[in-house]
Amino acid sequence: MGKSLKIGQVPNAPTFSASRTTSQSLTNSAWNKVQCATEDFYTTSAYDAATNFRFQPTMPGYYLAGNAALNYFQGAMVRPA
């Protein structure tokens, strides 16, 4: 088994967290980009929170991306099936 490496052990590792603070309208039967315009933290300038809402790292490597979403339907929270 390989060795593990913690993010704090990688100098200048691009790291960020972005979120939305307001609702966003989505189009049915289409791909939608969630526009996370609030940067919670970042270590480099690799995330664009103003125009494209995307992460563009400047160094090669493997990146882990994740998300969490709450769904509301007619004022009630709906859990995914």
Query: pTM for the complete prediction?
Result: 0.58
Tally of CB atoms within 10 A around 13 = 16
pLDDT (tens place) for every residue of the chain, 81 residues total? 566 656 556 666 778 888 888 888 888 888 888 888 888 888 888 889 899 998 888 888 888 888 777 666 666 655 555
55 - beta bridge partners? 47
Q: How many CB atoms lie within 10 A of CB 16?
A: 17
The DSSP letter of residue 9 is G
With beta carbons less than 8 A apart as the criterion, state whether 32 and 69 touch.
Answer: no
Q: Which residue, among 68, 48, 73, 50, has the nearest Cα to 58 in the 3D structure?
A: 48
Structure tokens at 14: 């691009």
